[in-house]
Amino acid sequence: MSQETTAAADTANKPVKNFRNSVDIENFYRFIHENGLRRETISMLEFVHSSLAKPKKRGRKKKMQ
């Protein structure tokens, strides 16, 4: 196997706890830091989080009398 295939297989097998230690995430953080994109990244991630975390509307259950 090549190094890329091995790295991809290792990344796929890691639990969610090690998400920040993923090679892809480290490269993403490095790209943001090197290019000075911190403010833009924060606003982008806040937008994504707010769109994903919207509470579901629940109606009241009707009482049977």
Where exactly are the structural domains of the chain? 3-52
CB-CB contact of 19 with 25 (8 Å): yes
Written as tens digits, the pLDDT of the chain (65 aa) is: 466 555 555 555 656 667 677 888 889 889 999 999 999 999 998 999 888 887 777 777 777 77
8 A C-beta contact, residue 23 and residue 7: yes
